[in-house]
């Protein structure tokens, strides 16, 4: 839910909304950012970090559960997971 101020996205307001209404979303994002850092991906890198066993299903941020993949590969895996339930 992007908040806009004078035609620009207000990240500060959006984050405060998330912290208040969706605390699990903040925790999940922090876990994803930690995984990116652990795998050495920089800001702007088009690749993504894939959790072999998803965090939702009891996976962790350990290096053995992470792999660097293209965005297409990661999105395909996520779509397949959602389709299968």
Backbone conformation region of residue 43, classed left if phi is above 0, alpha if psi is from -120 to 50, else beta: beta
pLDDT tens digits in sequence order for the chain, 85 residues long: 578 888 899 988 888 888 888 888 888 888 889 999 999 999 899 999 999 998 888 889 999 999 999 999 999 998 998 888 6
The residue assigned the tokens 């839910």 is 1
C-alpha 50 chain-centroid distance: 10
Return the pLDDT at 76: 93
| pTM, to two decimals | 0.69
pLDDT in tens, 46-68: 999 999 998 888 889 999 999 99
What count of residues does the chain have? 85
C-alpha 53 chain-centroid distance: 14
């Amino acid at each position: 839910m992007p908040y806009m101020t004078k035609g620009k996205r207000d990240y500060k307001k959006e984050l405060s909304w998330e912290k208040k209404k969706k605390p699990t979303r903040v925790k999940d994002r922090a876990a994803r950012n930690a995984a990116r850092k652990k795998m050495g991906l920089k800001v702007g890198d088009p690749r993504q970090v894939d959790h072999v066993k998803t965090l939702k299903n009891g996976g962790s941020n350990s290096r053995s559960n992470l792999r660097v993949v293209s965005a297409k590969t990661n999105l395909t895996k996520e779509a397949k997971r959602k389709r299968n339930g």
